[in-house]
Chain A
Amino acid sequence: NAGVTQTPKFQVLKTGQSMTLQCAQDMNHNSMYWYQQDPGMGLRLIYYSASEGTTDKGEVPNGYNVSRLNKREFSLRLESAAPSQTSVYFCASSESRMQVGANVLTFGAGSRLTVL
């Protein structure tokens, strides 16, 4: 029962470095999401993928890129990290974005990123 798996769990970067956060789900879900969590700010949607082969911007996409590699995997890339991107990142998946009844999110455990 792995559910949604994120790697790495922790990462420290220097300003300007790049890195990719990996996310994989084994529930055969169609939709996947990346959220950013900061204290007092809740979860803000960065990017989502309604289905394999599609991606769309969320509320806070600047400074990030995503790739829906296949149905299982959805990665988040920081091309040039900035201290403002210090945060906890959550990947989530759901059966289908287009059917609200199926839109219950399953979350990964999170990836804590620090940019110095």
Chain B
Amino acid sequence: DAKTTQPNSMESNEEEPVHLPCNHSTISGTDYIHWYRQLPSQGPEYVIHGLTSNVNNRMASLAIAEDRKSSTLILHRATLRDAAVYYCILRDRGTSGTYKYIFGTGTRLKVLA
């Protein structure tokens, strides 16, 4: 299974940008890079995904390295509500052909007021 590596925790000040890195050196050519976040006692929430090009949406931006072995989730202005565990996931294709999500340890983001 393709694996991802993320820092265990990061801190940011409110209203400032946050760059959350993810390494995925064993990514295959057809793996999508997905980012989710999980608030306490809730299920994960979709943030953004991409394949090769950088992506933007209302929540965040995703910067993907040219060799696709790493990516960075960018929150342009962190708010207290962005405090969560952020997971970088490669869409893994199981032996049955079903695409599965394999979660790594994630990054716990703390936002300081």
The answer to whether A and B belong to the same complex is no
